[in-house]
Amino acid sequence: MVGGDAAGMSAASQARRLNHDLEIVAFERGTYVSYSACGEPYYIGGLVESLDRLVARTPEQFAKRDIEVHTRHEVTAIDLGRREVTVVDLAANSSRTVGFDHLMVSTGSRPLRPSYIKGVNLPGVVGLRTLDDAAAVKQLIDGDVKKVLVLGGGYIGIEVAEAIVDRGIEVIMVTSGRHVLERTLDDELGTLVDEAVRSYGVELHTGLRVQCIQGTDRATGIGCDEIEFSADLIVIGLGAGPEVELAKAAGIQLGDSGAVAVDEYQRTSVEGVWSAGDCAEVRHRVTGKPVNVPLGTVANKTGRIAGTNIAAAINGTDPKPFPGALGTAITKIGDTEIARTGFKVAQSREAGFTPVVGAVTGTTTAGYWPTAKRMDLMVIADQKTGRVVGGQIVGGQGAGKKIDVIATAIWNGMTAEELAWVDLAYAPPFSGVWDLVHIAARRAAEG
């Protein structure tokens, strides 16, 4: 296993469940394995007291299951002809080769640091990927940092901004998009998130493309053009890209998305080599086309499938396919919850659909309930078939997880008309008698 987080260790654990005789060895260049990267902003913000709370299993726990884990060991080369990898022990600064019968590439993703931004690699410009990164950022925040600049308005950017505001530190967020989460939310809902970000105390600037980070020995802010903000620390939240250099150098085929190309069984172009997680492609549940979906949910599931099929290849049993992904995701800023699944309107057009939108503004509970908060919900359907292909939600506490109903409808190929009649639970503390999912779906069905 090359890489010891969600996909790699899920594969290792599943392969062990299905075959007790395998020799399983995992190499991880970081200090931790099997951890929740999604919890890193909340560690920085102080909601999670210790990094150990974010670790699902330690190397010692894996050892009890006869899975050999080596942290601070980096695989630097894969020789497919000799069926071996070169591994560097980072602590001892020594290297060795290790042979394999089956190889799992689960190298994950890396924060994007665009080369067009001058000074992007200066000290004081940090990204979040591993728990080691989170520890380094928290140490800086715990110091004399008074102002933080967040570049990017994606999930990580929003969650980091919230965490740092919670520490009483001034935060400026700059994004090139028309609104935050532009890649995942349509404008109507994205602008609502902008309002929530600003209301939480973040100084948000949209539509600004950063070209330069100022500083000589250390980053001091951004500038170069009409944009100029000073900062003690800059957090890169410009998205993530699949970490595929190792696979590419070995001759493993990449897909159009830039991630490792795999079939529905997580098999790469090379016999006996598998890949899963952020570094690999998956099939979109709606279109069947390969996409890269860097989410922890997808990494854990595809890792489990890879482990199942590695064991199947050895045991001589039938492989199991990965059924696809929708990119369902959820986050929050303060009390505002944000969720999405499937396609945006423009994305649905690009996929060949004729989108019709059912949108509704209501409340998280019955309107008369004392804790009712505003909620905006959107259901996107294909006009020709009626099939639900997307959904988005922005609202108060209790709004976000309603996205799971829409995701379930998309997963099972339901039409908007069918979704409008699903028997959903009702009580005044939770929703109106007609849930907003019902109303939005009906509006989409009526076109």
CATH number, position 368: 3.30.390.30
Same domain, 292 and 349: no
> Is 324 contained in some domain?
no
* Residue 297: C-alpha distances to residues 224, 324, 406 (Å): 39, 12, 17
Same domain, 441 and 356: yes
> Is 68 contained in some domain?
yes
The range of the structural domain enclosing residue 191 comes to 113-238
Tokens of 10: 């899920």
**Side chain identity, residue 202:** V
> Is 45 contained in some domain?
no
Burial letters 135-167, b for 16+ CB under 10 A, else e: bebbebbeeebebbbbbbbbbbbbbbbbbbbbe
* Per annotation, catalytic residue among 38, 212, 224, 279: 38
The reported pLDDT for the residue numbered 227 is 76
| Sole residue written with tokens 């309002």 | 195
Same domain, 157 and 302: no
Q: How confident is the prediction for the chain on average, in pLDDT?
A: 95
Report the C-alpha gap between 333 and 190 in whole angstroms.
Answer: 13
Encode pLDDT of 164-212 as tens digits: 999 999 999 999 999 999 999 999 999 999 999 999 999 999 998 888 9
Burial letters 302-311, b for 16+ CB under 10 A, else e: bbbbbbbbbb
For the four alpha carbons of 186, 189, 192 and 197, in that order, the dihedral sign comes to negative
Kindly tell me if the per-residue pLDDT of 225 is higher than 70: no
> Is 49 contained in some domain?
no
Domain count of the chain? 3
Same domain, 257 and 222: no
Q: What percent of the chain has pLDDT over 90?
A: 91
Kindly tell me if the per-residue pLDDT of 224 is higher than 70: no
Report the C-alpha gap between 301 and 292 in whole angstroms.
Answer: 14
> Is 43 contained in some domain?
no
Kindly tell me if the per-residue pLDDT of 226 is higher than 80: no
Same domain, 120 and 234: yes
The reported pLDDT for the residue numbered 223 is 82
Same domain, 228 and 264: no
The reported pLDDT for the residue numbered 5 is 92
Tokens of 15: 């392969």
Report the C-alpha gap between 444 and 383 in whole angstroms.
Answer: 8
- pLDDT, mean of residues 364-389: 97
> Is 281 contained in some domain?
yes
> Is 284 contained in some domain?
yes
- The number of CA neighbours under 13 Å toward the Cβ of 186 is 22
Encode pLDDT of 36-52 as tens digits: 989 999 999 999 999 99
> Is 328 contained in some domain?
no
Same domain, 220 and 260: no
Same domain, 361 and 430: yes
Residue 279 a catalytic site member? no
- The number of CA neighbours under 13 Å toward the Cβ of 119 is 19
Q: Which residue, of 218, 238, 258, is where some domain finishes?
A: 238
Same domain, 298 and 281: yes
Encode pLDDT of 435-447 as tens digits: 999 999 999 999 8
CATH number, position 306: 3.50.50.60
